[in-house]
Amino acid sequence: DMAVRHYTLDFNLSTAVDSATAVSGLLSIFHEQELTETIHDTDGHGYLATFVGKNGRFVVLRVHSHGLVTVDLQCYEEDDIAQLDNVRECTALSFSLKLPALLRGAKVDRYWPTADGRLIEYDIDKVVYEENSDYQNIKILHSQQYGNILVLDGDINLAESDFPYTQAITGNGKENYAGKEVLILGGGDGGILAELVKQKPKMITMVEISFPELVIDGCKKYMRKTCGDILDNLKGDCYQILIQDCVPLLKKYVQEGRTFDYVINDLTAVPISTSPEEDSTWEFLRLILDLSIQVLHPSGKYFTQGNSANLTEALNLFEEQLGKLSCPVDFRKEVVCVPSYLEQYPFYQVLYL
């Protein structure tokens, strides 16, 4: 595993004396490390030099004309990079910011952006499951903090730590599912199903598109803290799991006039895109939303996830879509912190007016 560590050091200079001192100090450190220097022409925009050394070390030093100094050092993971810890001491600057190293090219990717574009480093140490279904790439990764994490097409879906997600998308314990008809769209991790069967509903129908049953197969083996043993069988006394596309099934239910007391949409988050007319994900969301409302009992409730609370424009667009359905509805939302998402997440409850 020849992963590369990428270290950065940033600091601001207040005077020309600081600049000369900083450059001189940094150059002496790099020369001591036997790094070969190449100075580049910046056309008067500060100072730029690159350094190449033994063991594959590579450094970029940039002193910007407005006083910002940036240092980027790349080396192999097993290399000794103690010289970075000496930079702050040798330059004797009053303000500096040293960021943790980025580990690039490792066997296990540990970086994911949040929905609003911030980079998060997770403590992921191994891949415990990976398969490709007809529809998506499926991974289950192990995190020391969050347990096993289900990742679908590169997006974190649910971790074993994320019971607050399951609570929120089922009504936060305020609903009575006993004797009720429930339809779950998605939910292949089994968390929602495992939680609701405890309340003895009349029947839960869960529709999971992943074919073959690779999401379910992975989760029943590696996400048992989430699903328990509920995925061991596709049918039980008060539930059935259907492996098929939910759209034709929803259309069939509409034609038959079948209704449910609860419809829980665990298929996809509100799209990040703010161009509903150009994004096929928005089109899919509107289709599912409209069909789901049509199979909802007049006194029933529809639950779904939103997206990052910081994506206010996208969430406002989703709420506008609720006002364009074939029948008038009202909605409520509750913002919840889902542990592995590392961001606030709204969940929606929709019901007939």
The CATH number given to whatever domain includes residue 196 is: 3.40.50.150
- In a domain, residue 157? The reply is no
What integer pLDDT is reported at residue 19 of this predicted model? 64
| 68 lies in the same domain as 168 | no
What integer pLDDT is reported at residue 156 of this predicted model? 92
What integer pLDDT is reported at residue 70 of this predicted model? 86
pTM tops 0.85, yes or no? no
What integer pLDDT is reported at residue 77 of this predicted model? 74
Strands (E), the chain: 4-12, 36-40, 47-52, 58-63, 68-76, 97-104, 111-113, 119-121, 124-132, 137-143, 147-152, 155-159, 181-186, 203-208, 235-236, 239-243, 260-266, 296-305, 329-338, 343-352
What integer pLDDT is reported at residue 271 of this predicted model? 82
Read off the pLDDT of residues 133-142 as tens digits, 9 standing for 90 and up.
888 899 999 9
What integer pLDDT is reported at residue 278 of this predicted model? 65
> Exposure of 167 by Cβ count < 10 A (0-12 exposed, 13-18 middle, 19+ buried)?
middle
CB 139 within 8 A of CB 130: yes
Read off the pLDDT of residues 154-198 as tens digits, 9 standing for 90 and up.
899 999 999 999 999 999 999 999 999 999 999 999 999 999 999
Residue 286 vs residue 17, higher pLDDT: 286
Residue 202 vs residue 326, higher pLDDT: 202
What integer pLDDT is reported at residue 338 of this predicted model? 95
| Catalytic center residues | 266
What integer pLDDT is reported at residue 92 of this predicted model? 40
What integer pLDDT is reported at residue 67 of this predicted model? 80
Q: Structure tokens of 228?
A: 């328990």
| Residue that is last in its domain, among 86, 104, 122 | 104
| 61 lies in the same domain as 175 | no
pLDDT at 11 over 80: no
| Residue that is last in its domain, among 73, 104, 135 | 104
Q: Structure tokens of 301?
A: 């409730």
What integer pLDDT is reported at residue 307 of this predicted model? 93
- In a domain, residue 263? The reply is yes
- Domain count for the chain, please give it: 2
- In a domain, residue 118? The reply is no
What integer pLDDT is reported at residue 204 of this predicted model? 98
Residue 90 vs residue 116, higher pLDDT: 116
| 97 lies in the same domain as 169 | no
DSSP string across 109-126: --EEE-TTS-EEE--EEE
What integer pLDDT is reported at residue 16 of this predicted model? 59
Residue 123 vs residue 25, higher pLDDT: 123
| 190 lies in the same domain as 299 | yes
Interatomic CA distance for residues 61 and 93, integer angstroms? 16
Query: pLDDT band at residue 34, thresholds of 50, 70 and 90?
Result: confident
> Beta strand pairing status for 68-76 and 119-121?
unpaired
Over residues 123-132, mean pLDDT:
95
Read off the pLDDT of residues 255-281 as tens digits, 9 standing for 90 and up.
999 999 999 999 988 887 767 666 688
What integer pLDDT is reported at residue 18 of this predicted model? 61
- In a domain, residue 113? The reply is no
| 76 lies in the same domain as 187 | no
pLDDT at 55 over 80: no
Over residues 231-236, mean pLDDT:
96
Q: Could you tell me what percentage of the chain is helix, strand and coil, using 3-state DSSP and rounding each to the nearest 5?
A: 30, 35, 35
Range of the domain at 96: 4-104
The CATH number given to whatever domain includes residue 24 is: 3.30.160.110
- In a domain, residue 120? The reply is no
- What distances in angstroms separate CA 119 from CA 98, 102, 115, 274, 341, one per listed residue? 16, 11, 10, 21, 12
Query: pLDDT band at residue 95, thresholds of 50, 70 and 90?
Result: very low
Over residues 231-247, mean pLDDT:
96
Three-class secondary structure assignment of 28-82: HHHHHCCCEEEEECCCCCCEEEEEECHHHCEEEEEECCCCEEEEEEEEECCCCCC
| 186 lies in the same domain as 315 | yes
What integer pLDDT is reported at residue 88 of this predicted model? 44
Q: What mean pLDDT value characterizes the chain?
A: 88
What integer pLDDT is reported at residue 283 of this predicted model? 87
Residue 312 vs residue 23, higher pLDDT: 312
Residue 94 vs residue 240, higher pLDDT: 240
